[in-house]
Amino acid sequence: MTTPPFAPVSAADIRVVSEQLGREARGVVGISARCICGNPTVVSTAPRLPQGTPFPTFYYLTHPAATAEMSRLESGQMMVELNALLGEDEEVREQYVRAHEAYIADRAQFGEVEEIAHISAGGMPTRVKCLHAVAGHALAAGPGVNPIGDLALARSAWSPERCECAVPGSARRSDEQVAAE
């Protein structure tokens, strides 16, 4: 098994993520996807938080513009459409099951937690419950792994190729800072 592809987390990353979330970041084990400017977009979170709480959402979308866009798509009933697609398209359904299995395998590398043993995130593998979770997985894993996350990102007005970081008090990181990590 390979380690999920992400960069180590720095103190600066934790500060930015905490600002993005509006609370202290907890259990972050890596940065799974970054904005084009270098700020975190998706974090990987330990399957058990430091306080002992089981946490199934290994890939957690933190970028404010991305999370706002997933919320907009959810309020526009995109999940209803995607759930219908899962019911109608066997190939998408099979890919979504594989995405669920990959998600669990990635998380398992950071510990097995009995309470969440067969639970991934976002409703996988049988339904679409949260676009934030499946988009976070798609951004972290790359195109072609999570078909539902890919579809949400394709429909999104937000793009990881365009910086929309607007975190109060945080500066965009320079190319030198990103390269040094």
113 is a domain residue: yes
Look at the block and give the residue holding tokens 């398209």: 89
165 is a domain residue: no
**Token representation of residue 175:** 């190319």
178 is a domain residue: no
166 is a domain residue: no
Three-state secondary structure readout of 113-155: CHHHCCCCCCCCCCCCCCHHHHHHHHHHHCCCCCHHHHHHHHH
Range of the domain at 48: 11-159
Rounded to two decimals, the pTM is 0.88
**Count of domains forming the chain:** 1
Q: What is the pLDDT of residues 145-175, one digit of tens each?
A: 999 999 999 999 999 899 998 644 444 443 4
171 is a domain residue: no
175 is a domain residue: no
Q: What is the pLDDT of residues 84-95, one digit of tens each?
A: 999 999 999 999
Look at the block and give the residue holding tokens 């700020």: 39
177 is a domain residue: no
Q: How many residues does the chain have?
A: 181
- Alpha carbon 53 to chain centroid, angstroms: 19
181 is a domain residue: no
Q: What is the pLDDT of residues 103-153, one digit of tens each?
A: 999 999 999 999 999 999 999 999 999 999 999 999 999 999 999 999 999
